[in-house]
Amino acid sequence: MTPKPSLVFGSDHAGFELKELLKAKVEEWGYSVKDCGASSTDAVDYSDYIVPVVKEVLKGAVGILVCGSGIGMSIGANRFKGIHAALCCDAFMAKMSRTHNDANILVLGERLIKTDEAVACLETFLNTPFENGRHTCRLEKLDHLTLS
């Protein structure tokens, strides 16, 4: 049996409650968890929590970022080479983000997703492997996109 990857969480104030719920859920499932903040619902800048999560993901952890909509977190995380952050609203998106896009960060919007759907997204994301094959070539092309 393959060991479970370590998980690293980050959120802003608008994603704090969902982050806490998801952390508790994955700990029940036997995952080790690192929390990079935020530590409350007091207003903070979501951008402050992206880099600590990205650093851990680039070392091999699986990342979960949560903010109000998920949009800012996904835009920010995807600025880093080697990061494939996927904003998902349902389990099908989570599955496709893994099978076709080799996503290494799941991004959720607390204000846009019901708790049970967020849990389903996370469970699917964690249990779905990348398919490789034709998708590997496509991802390599993304790494070399230019305007020239």
Range(s) of the domain holding residue 103 = 7-143
Domain-embedded: residue 80: yes
84 is catalytic: no
Domain-embedded: residue 1: no
Count structural domains, the chain: 1
Quick check: 79 and 110 in contact, CB under 8 A?
no
Residue type for position 17: E
CATH number of the CATH domain containing 132: 3.40.1400.10
Domain-embedded: residue 133: yes
Domain-embedded: residue 33: yes
pTM flag (> 0.85): yes
Domain-embedded: residue 148: no
Catalytic residue among 84, 100, 135, 144: 100
Q: β-strands 105-109, 33-35: how paired?
A: unpaired
pLDDT digits (tens, 9 = 90+) for 22-77: 999 999 999 999 999 999 999 999 999 999 999 999 999 999 999 999 999 999 99
pLDDT digits (tens, 9 = 90+) for 94-119: 999 999 999 999 999 999 999 999 99
Domain-embedded: residue 2: no
